[in-house]
Amino acid sequence: MIITISGNLSSGKSTVAEWLAKELGYKYYYAGSIQRELAKKHGMSINKFQELEAKDPKWDREVDDYFVKLGKKYNLIADSHLAFHFIPNSLKIFLDVKFDVAVERRWKQLPHTAHRNEGEFKTKKALAKALKERLEMNRERWKRYYGVDAYDKSNYDIVIDTTKLTIPQVEKKVLEEVKKHF
């Protein structure tokens, strides 16, 4: 079984995907770590790599090809906005969250996520602006490159709104849904 987990920023997708992989005894793949690995391979920072992805589909395709190859394997969890598209035979899960709650969650995470190289923000308003820009840039890029909207919930088998849920509640819900499908 292959499970792809996507969702809005700060919806809990990475936390839940990693937990679910451990719970099921599956291998876990995270798009962010794959991007960092490829950036390092090319001798650049993750920020530079992501800048290039936004300008030239060659860089995005390097990450996407990785996920296409994963689709030929079994018993894995792929944590990526577009994995559902590149691994069509997967159980596709989307974790949703209201934008203002996502901003609040990310604001609280900032002191613990310096390793992500996402930038420094002095105010929640500046963070919200950056998150909105990133979301729209990604959405536009993916539509242009692949003709797909990763935030269109009709692309998914399971959609869970995490806005009012704790991580353990989301984990429980996801596991219940996965068991229903298999």
First and final C-alpha spacing in the chain: 9
**What pLDDT is attached to residue 115?**
44
Strands (E), 8-166: 27-30, 76-79, 91-96, 158-161
Residue 8 is predicted with a pLDDT of: 93
Whether residue 5 contacts residue 96, with contact meaning beta carbons closer than 8 Å, is answered with no
Which residues in the chain show pLDDT less than 70? 111-120
Confidence (pTM):
0.85
Q: List b or e across 7-22, with b for residues whose CB sees 16 or more CB atoms inside 10 angstroms.
A: bbbbbbbbebbebbbe
Structural domains of the chain, with CATH: 2-168 (3.40.50.300)
In three-state secondary structure terms, 50 is helix
